[in-house]
């Protein structure tokens, strides 16, 4: 299971642990991923996604999954999220 957000593409970063004596050892900064169920108003169904806490706040700020997907860049989305975005766009075009 990849440690990568399905909506923003945020993944692990690397850096240093720095001790009081300034000794540096490499470490990883992992994203704060959560398993959530998001509801699409256009499609009328829910989707289970593994997204970061920052992405969840952004989804709420933009007004839901449909509005987030409308502005999302395709290169950042996972394959599963791209399929959801395509389904939402088709449903909005027919409505």
Task: Please provide the DSSP assignment of 78-90 as one string.
Answer: -HHHHHHHHHHHH
Domain span at residue 57 reads 32-94
- Checking if the pLDDT of 1 tops 80, the result is no
Q: 6 in a domain, yes or no?
A: no
Q: Confidence band (pLDDT; 50, 70, 90) for 95?
A: confident
The answer as to whether 84 is a domain residue is yes
Kindly state whether residue 8 falls inside one of the protein's structural domains: no
Residue 3 located in a structural domain: no
The answer to the question of residue 17 being in a domain is: no
Rounded to whole angstroms, the Cα distance separating 77 from 16 reads 29
Residues 23-77: pLDDT tens digits? 999 999 999 999 999 999 999 999 999 999 999 999 999 999 999 999 999 999 9
- For the chain, the domain total comes to 1
First to last CA, the chain: 36
């Amino acid at each position: 299971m990849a440690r990568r957000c399905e909506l923003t593409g945020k993944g692990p970063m690397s850096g240093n642990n720095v001790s009081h004596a300034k000794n540096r050892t490499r470490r990883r900064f992992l994203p704060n991923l959560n398993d959530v169920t998001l509801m699409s108003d256009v499609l009328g169904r829910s989707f289970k996604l593994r997204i970061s806490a920052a992405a969840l706040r952004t989804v709420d700020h933009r007004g839901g999954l449909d509005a987030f997907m409308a502005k999302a860049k395709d290169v950042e989305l996972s394959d599963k999220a791209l399929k959801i975005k395509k389904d939402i766009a088709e449903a909005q075009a027919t409505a």
